[in-house]
Structure formats: structure tokens, C-alpha cells
A and B are shown apart, each in its own frame.
Chain A
Amino acid sequence: MIRFIAWRLLAGAGVLWGAATLTFLVLHFTPGDPAEAVVGGEGAAPTPEVLAQITAEYGLDRPWYEQYAGHLWRIVRGDFGTSYRLHTPVTQAIGEQAWATMELALAAAVTGLVLAVAVALATAGRRRWIRGLAAGAELLVASTPAFWLGIVLLTVFSFGLRLLPATGSHGLASLVLPALALALPIAGVLGHVLREALEEVLDEPFIVSARSRGLADTTVRVRHALRHALLPLVTMSGYWVGALLGGAVITETLFTRQGIGRLLVAAVNAKDLPVVLGVVLLSALVYVLVNLVVDLLYRVVDPRLKEAA
């Protein structure tokens, strides 16, 4: 078990290194002078002295492999450098935004999961029209662009009914709509997968035997079938994490929330290499950890794997 975890962590470090290298190369070899990015843009008129200062301060005149080695070496020592655009340490820039995104992602993940499980449990193996209705609704929210879904939620609940605030990240009320906008498409996909799995499980002999023992339908579904049907959801964790992080960019912009997503967009636009590297590494780290947790969860959900190991 410990060996397994150690191996996975080592592989994770490899993933992080790969992500850092790719990001560096892509950003470095897109044409353009990062010094311009630091003080450039429409409305800016940097003097030659200012450009020279930036080039010297960030070592932008050094060959790419030296800059690459410098970045890696600093990251290994835990120093992520200073943002070109914000003039603050990257750890601070990310730290200021991380909690808001985490809050949003967690809220959306829980909402999405609860919705998916509830709908799937209630509709799996039911009459044709009930399943059709649920599947249709799932397909609709899953294929609706998050942006548009967000605007609809805003229009109805903020601007129309004036029940919830449209902007900001102050407290629970301002979390409801963005979390819902992010959760609905995920709930659609997960709900669909879960119902298919449940329906398969509900046909298994052990369910028939459970029913024959006189267990109520709800008990059979929740206590016996659900556990088996959850496996594909765990397998899809990569999709979820991706959807949550990717969706956060759009949701944060639309609802004017703080967050990593907006930070990343601004940083990529400004060729702010240190911040982009920091966010990419953080995302890769989240993926690595989530995958590790998922592999461990498999063993809990599916005891057969324990014996195999």
C-alpha cells in the first residue's frame, strides 16, 4: 500500500515536471517580448529605460535554457517568482484567489453530485416516459454552454426575481447561482452515467435476491444498488475536476467572482509566465492528488481490488 502511494507520488512529480516544461516552452516560443507584456497594451507608452529595467530584472535577455533552468530551480526551492503583470509574488497572487475557486468548485461538486444521485436514484428503471424526461433534461443541461446557462440564471433569479445577488463573492447568497451554473452541466453528465449503471445493477441476481427478502424498493436502491453503480462516477473523476476547473474560468468571469480562473486568463493574455506556470502546476497537482485519492477510493468501493493487491 505504502509502496503503491510512493510510486504514484513519484509519477505525480513526473507529471508536474512535464506540465512545467510544456508550459514554459509554449509560452517562451510564442513570438513577442514579455517585457512589452509587463508594461504594454493599448494606452501604454513605456520608455526605453523602463523596458531595459524589466528585461534585466526578470532575466529576459538570457538564453531560453538558462531561463528554463532558472524557473525549474526556483520552483524546486518553492520560489515561484514574481508576477510580471501584478508585481507581486506568484504564491501571493494565487493564494489570494485560491480559496474563492475552491469554495466554488466544492459547492458545485457537492451540488452536482447530490442532484445526479437524487435524479438517477429516483428515475432508474422507472417507466419509459419518466426516464425519457430525466434523460432529456440531463442532455439539455449537459449540452448547454455554461456561459448561457449562467446568463439565464442571472436573468431569472438576480435581475428578474431579485432573489440572489448577481456579482461578487460575499457569503453564501452570492455562491448559489455560480455554483448552480457550474454544477448543472456536471450533474447532467453524471446523472446520465449513473442511471445507466444503476439500471444495469438493478437487473443483477443479488438485487433480485434482496427484493425477495422483502426489502423496500428505496432500501434496495440506496443500500445495495447505489454502491455498485458509483464505480463509473469515480472513474470519471478526471472529467469532473476538468469540468470544475475549466468551468470556473467562465463562471468567475460572468459572476464577477474572484478566482484562479480569471487570474489565469489575465496571465495568459499578458504572457505573465510566472503566474501561468504557478496555476498550471497547481492544477496538475490537484489532478495528481485527485487521481491518487480515486485509486484509493476504488479499494474502498470495490473490495475485490484489495485482494488483488
Chain B
Amino acid sequence: MTKKTLALLLTAATLLAGCGSTGASSPGGGAPKAGGTLVLGENGQEPPCLDPHGNASSDGPVATVPVADSLVWFDADGTIEPWLADSWNVSDDGLTYTFKLRHGVKFHDGAVWNAEALKLNFEHMKDPATKSPLAAAYIAPYEDSKVVDEYTLEVRLSSPYKPFLDILSQGYLGMISPKQIKEAPQTICEHPIGSGPFIFDKWTKGQSITYHRNPDYNWGPKGAKHTGPAYLDKLEIRFLAEDATRYNALASGEVDAIDFTPPQNVEDVKANPELGFLSAIRPGHPMSFWLNTSRPPFDDVKVRQALLAAVDRESIIKGVSFGQYDVAQGFVTSSTPGYAAALEGSIAYDPAKAGGLLDEAGWTGRDKDGIRTKDGKRLVAYFPIAANFPAQRMQIAVQTQAAARKIGLDIQLQTPPEQELTDRSNKGDYDMSSGLWATNTADVLWIQYSSENITTDKRRGQNVARLRDAQLDDLLERARQGENPAKLYNQAQARLLELAPAIPFYDDPRPVAYQKKVRDLTFTPAYPSPYFYDTWLEQ
């Protein structure tokens, strides 16, 4: 990490803290009080399974982190702090991690946290029977582990994997009771038992999840403001899928806080003296439209660069987000450790340049509709989208379509059935695809752009741009192995700007709004989601 990036991250962290903890403990404060129930209105992405290792939903961590602690804590500046592990040691070859575990930690069912418990959790993540959609892939290099003594576990990896600790801090890899894993693994989805500050009570599917305080809790992360049990007696997460319902439930006082504040309501929240606002940019890959680089027309880098230059991202994003989102400056978001701040401003809106690039690429003819042609073929790109495509993303797609048309590129939006869509995306039968990937390491670039991650019959990967670039592969692989990641990730980001495998649109935020009586509501920075350990209610 360069000094500049570090400085930037620190500023970002301070700003975050400014919106968050300081904002939440405003004048008239005082000592935190215990008691009360906090109701959080969540969006509609209710996880189908509450086993942290068994879900990939963006609402997974907010629902499982209250119950399940993680091995390590990730700070907003990218440093890794102790949590259920007191300390760790990485061998010189990067293949062996030795964890010294915290003493005196107890799960909600009385099971003891020790080396055996950690080993069982790793095995549970890996076990195909867990049907893990995410955790298993995140610890893919995990080979096996050896219990050295009661509180020491030696973990062996098949290849060096620098992001291992970062990943372990995410809620998707939270620690579950070894007793439950051994005796009743089929119950974890429905009723997860962890060691967290809140004990799981009840999941009313389609509606809410409730928790109550763990009175024995005394092993909060180092970054927390207090020690001992949480302040809240009870916690309820209510799934309010409709944006209007969620916002109005907060405005009318029916809930104490809401997650994913609709962008159209953020200004109202900020203007309302009874409400507070807290937002963090999710680390990882910005919301983007990926371009399929493995077939025409986007196999030609000039056509990709042309589209990138033809789209006025600034005005599109300002419009669809009501001025709330930051335009993406590259291929990782600004809150990701390793973000190349020096490259900011590299993607410029320049329709004239876009036209020139298409001319150079040989698309010089025009048909009667004004679409460019080459050797009698029209310049067309197919963009299949899901039926439940978010309205906001649809607006971006339509405006991108309009911008592309101006330079003579015809983007055709298609809505095949959901499963056909998955099928086509696995086969690479598309020219454009949309999405984002939230994770707390620049290794997201390996996930999204390493040629190893192009989906094949044998392996499902996230390289939806189907990019295959030897130079980039080499940079990402070496960074992953642990050789000077700061420098290598910088070079990788510069290389990606040349390759233009996607139109990055915005850095996805996690905007939370709350009643002012809610104090010290914060985020877990590893996968930004509301975190309630320090939270208390002013009665």
C-alpha cells in the first residue's frame, strides 16, 4: 500500500466514523444504557439459509454476524485485528498459518471455542454437503489443518493465498458451534448457534428474524467501543422489500433503522432532524456492465474502449442515484485496500474519440438506421437481463443503449427466463452482463478477471468478461501469492484501464438511516453491514 492510498483510506475511515459513531453519539449523549429492542428494516434480499457458510445473499452478514463471531476483525483501513484468534503466524512460503486462539470463548449451546472447533468450521465450509455458495470458494486453497494443542491450530494451504485473513473476517465465514456442526448440521440453516453478542431466537420466514442478548459475551473485537455483553436486550431484523414501505416505516417510527436507504429518500433523511444517516462504500468491484471479450464485437479492444468513452457515466449515475453515488474511477471501489487513487479520472467521456476508435476498428459503414457495419455485418451487442433486473440498473442500461446508438452501436436488451439467463451466462452467450462483487480485498480482480475464472464445463467462475490477458494474469497471480501486492494491484488496475473489459458505473454504498435515539450504530468494515454490538437506545 502506498502512503497516498493509506492516507486516503484513513481519510475515508475518518469520514465514515464522522458520519457514523460520532454522528450517532451527538450532544446530550452520556453513558450508554442497556435495554430495549432495536428493529432494523432490511431490504427484500432475505437469505434462504442462516448458516453463514451456506449463503451468498447480500443480507447474509447483517443477519448472521450478530450470532457468529469471526476469527479476525478487518478494520476500515485494511488492517487485520485479533478477534477469536489472539494472534497468528504465517510461514515464509505462505503455505502455513498458525492461529493462537482466544481463551474463554463459549458458544450459545455451551460448546467451547478451541482448535478443534476452528478445524470443524473449516471442514464444514469445505464440505459439499453444506452446499456453500460462497465460503467454500473463498477458502479454496485450504488443504487441511492440525490441532497443535487445545488453543493452537496449524492450517495448511495448497498454494500461497495472501487474502486468506481478509476473507476470514467476512460474515460469510463466521464461526458456528462445533457441537452443532457435529451433531445436527442440518439445523444450522434454520437456527444458527454461534458465540456472538446476540442469541438467535426465531426466524419468521418472509418477515423477520429476532435475537436476544448473550449475557455471557465478553469477547468483542478489538475495534469495538466497549467490552462485555451488548446493550440491546433484543434485536429484530424485518424484511421490508418495498423501498417506499421501508423508508416510510422509518419516517413513521415503526422501525428504528433501515438498511439500503432508497437513494431518492436520502436527502429527506438528511433534512429530517429526527433521523441520522450512515453510509459506507462497499469494498470490491464497482457496479459495472461487463463486456464479453471472447467474441465479436467486444473481442476488439478498440470497440470496448469506444463504448467506454461514449457513455457519460457522470450524468447517468447522478441521475439514477439522485446525486448520491460516486462514479467508479476504475475496477475496484475507492474503499478497497489497494485502490489506485493515482489513476482517478482516467476514464473520460469523449464521444468524438469513441467514433474515431470505431473507425479504426474498421466499423466504417452505416446501414439505413445509422448503425455501423463492417463487411456487411451490423455492430450489435446483446445484453440479456433478468426479469427482476433492478429498476435503477435498467435506467442505466437504457441510457447506455442510447449513448451507444449515437456512435452507431446497437445494444439489444433481452429478457430471457431466469434459468435460460444462467445457462447463457455459463456458456458465454451474451455480449454484455451486469453486476458487482463485494469483498474486502483487491483480490476481487483475480476473481473477476483471471483467465482461470472463465466459466467452463468443469468450473464456474466470475470472469464474466471472459478476459484472457497473460500480463494481467501474471500480476494478479503474483499479488495473490503475496509478492508486493500494493505495487502489483496498482499495475493491474492500470492494465485493466487499457483492456477496458467493463464499463464501471458506481461504487456501491451501504446507506443506513436511523432514528436519532439509536446511538453508536456502526458497520462491520469487512463486508459493510450494520453492526449492533456497541449500539444502544436513548430512551
Please give me the residue from chain A that is nearest to B57 by CB atom. Answer: A43
Residues of A within 8 A of B138 (CB): 45
**In the assembled complex, how far is the CB of residue B269 from the closest CB belonging to chain A, in whole angstroms?**
15
Of chain B, the residue at the smallest CB distance from A96 is: B205
Asked if A85 is at the interface (CB within 8 A of a chain B CB), the reply is yes
- A86-B189 in contact (CB<8A): yes
Contact with B along A37-49 (1 / 0, CB 8 A): 1111111111111
A32 touches B58 (CB 8 A): no
Asked whether A151 lies within 8 Å of B419 as measured between CB atoms, the reply is no
Query: Complex formed: what's the CA distance from A167 to B460 in Å?
Result: 39
Interfacial residues of chain B within 444-463, with CB under 8 A of chain A in the complex = 447, 458-462
Q: How far is the CB of B60 from chain A (nearest CB, A)?
A: 9
**A46 touches which one: B49, B249, B460 (CB < 8 A)?**
B460
The complex places the Cα of A48 from the Cα of B459 at a distance, in Å, of 6
Nearest chain A CB to B113 CB, angstrom units: 26
Residue from the list B48, B128, B419 in contact with A32, Cβ < 8 A: B419
* Pairwise interchain contact A50-B132, C-beta atoms closer than 8 A: yes
Q: Which of B38-81 contact A (CB under 8 A)?
A: 41, 48-49, 54, 56-58
Contact A38:B131 (CB < 8 A) given known A44-B56, A151-B244, A256-B240? yes
Contact (Cβ within 8 A) A45 B240: no
B131 near A53: Cβ-Cβ < 8 Å: yes
Give how many A residues have a beta carbon under 8 Å from the other chain's beta carbons.
Answer: 56
Instruction: Check: A33 CB closer than 8 A to any chain B CB.
Output: yes
Q: Give the shortest distance, in Å, between B251 (CB) and chain A (any CB).
A: 7
Interface segment among A154-162, A188-196, A199-207: the answer is: A154-162
Q: Say yes or no: A54 contacts B131, CB within 8 Å.
A: yes
For residue A92, give the distance in angstroms from its CB to the closest CB of chain B. 9
Closest to B130 in A: A50
Contact with B along A68-83 (1 / 0, CB 8 A): 0000000000000000
Q: Does B190 contact A (CB under 8 A)?
A: yes
Kindly state the separation between the CA atoms of A252 and B253 in the bound complex, as whole angstroms. Answer: 21
Please provide the chain A residues from 140 to 185 with a CB less than 8 Å away from any CB of chain B in the complex. Answer: 151, 154-155, 158-159, 162, 165-169
* A 9-30 to B, binary, CB cutoff 8 A, 1 in contact else 0: 0000000000000000000001
**Nearest Cβ distance between residue A61 and chain B, in whole angstroms?**
14
Question: Which residues of B sit under 8 angstroms from A291, Cβ to Cβ?
Answer: none
Judge whether B254 and A39 touch: CB under 8 Å.
no
Q: Which residues of B contact A221 (CB under 8 A)?
A: none
User: Closest CB-CB distance, B200 to chain A, in whole Å?
Assistant: 16
Chain B residue with minimal CB distance to A158? B252
Question: Would A32 and B423 count as touching, CB distance under 8 A?
Answer: yes
- In the bound complex, how far is the Cα of B462 from the Cα of A266, in angstroms? 24
A111 within 8 A of B: no
Cβ contacts B84-115/A at 8 Å (1 or 0 each): 00000000000000000000000000000000
Q: Answer whether residue A214 sits at the interface, using C-beta atoms and an 8 A cutoff.
A: no
Q: Which residues of chain B from 392 to 447 have any CB-CB distance to chain A below 8 Å in the complex? A: 417-423, 426, 435, 437-438, 447
Is A257 a contact partner of B206 (Cβ separation < 8 A)?
yes
**Smallest CB gap from B421: residue in A:** A32
Give CA–CA (A268, B172) in the complex, Å.
26
- Taken residue by residue from 221 to 247, chain B's Cβ proximity to chain A (1 for < 8 Å, 0 otherwise) reads as 000000000000000001111101100
A45 near B137 with CB under 8 A, answer yes
Query: Most chain-B CB neighbours within 10 Å: which of A33, A43, A49?
Result: A43
A31 within 8 A of B: yes
Which residues of A lie under 8 Å from residue B241 when comparing CB positions? 253, 256
Nearest-CB distance from A267 to chain B (Å)?
10
Contact A87 B189 (CB under 8 A): yes
Beta-carbon contact of A254 and B206 below 8 Å: no
Q: Does B23 contact A (CB under 8 A)?
A: no
Q: Which of B136, B207, B417 contacts A47 (CB 8 A)?
A: B136
A271 proximity list for chain B (CB < 8 A): 418-419
Total chain B interface residues with beta-carbon distance under 8 A:
57
Residue of A nearest to B190 (CB): A88
B129 within 8 A of A: yes
Contacts of B208 in A (CB 8 A): 168
Answer whether residue A258 sits at the interface, using C-beta atoms and an 8 A cutoff: yes
Whether the Cβ atoms of B58 and A43 lie closer than 8 Å is yes
B189 touches A88 (CB 8 A): yes
Partner of A254, one of B205, B245, B458, B462: B245
Q: Are B207 and A39 in contact (CB under 8 A)?
A: no
The closest CB in chain A to the CB of B140 belongs to: A47
Contacts of A54 in B (CB 8 A): 131
Partner of B128, one of A49, A86, A87, A88: A49
Is B134 part of the binding interface, using a Cβ–Cβ cutoff of 8 Å?
yes
Asked if A269 CB lies within 8 Å of chain B CBs, one says yes
- The answer to whether B245 touches A154 (Cβ under 8 A) is yes
Are A37 and B419 touching (Cβ within 8 A)?
yes
Is there an interface contact between B418 and A46, defined as CB atoms closer than 8 Å? no
Residue of B nearest to A51 (CB): B460
**Residue pair B206, A46 in contact (C-beta under 8 Å):** no
CB atoms of A45 and B129 under 8 A apart? no
- Contact A32–B56 (Cβ < 8 Å): no
Q: Is B388 among interface residues, defined by CB-CB distance under 8 A?
A: yes
Query: Which of chain B's residues has its CB closest to A40's CB?
Result: B422
Does A305 interact with chain B (Cβ within 8 Å)? no
Q: Which of A42, A51, A154 meets B248, CB within 8 Å?
A: A154
Check A33/B423 contact, CB under 8 A, given A154-B245, A158-B252.
yes
Known: A166-B254, A167-B254, A271-B418. A257 touches B207 (CB 8 A): yes
**A97 nearest CB across to chain B (Å):** 7
- Can you list 27 pairs linking A and B with CB atoms under 8 Å apart? A32-B419, A39-B131, A44-B133, A45-B137, A45-B461, A46-B137, A47-B460, A48-B459, A49-B136, A50-B131, A50-B132, A51-B460, A53-B131, A86-B189, A87-B54, A88-B190, A93-B205, A97-B206, A151-B244, A159-B248, A168-B207, A252-B206, A258-B204, A258-B206, A262-B206, A263-B206, A269-B388
20 further A-B pairs in the complex, CB-CB below 8 A; given A45-B134, A167-B254, A263-B206: A31-B419, A33-B423, A39-B56, A45-B460, A45-B462, A46-B133, A46-B137, A48-B460, A85-B48, A87-B186, A96-B205, A154-B244, A168-B207, A168-B238, A256-B239, A259-B206, A263-B205, A270-B48, A271-B418, A271-B419
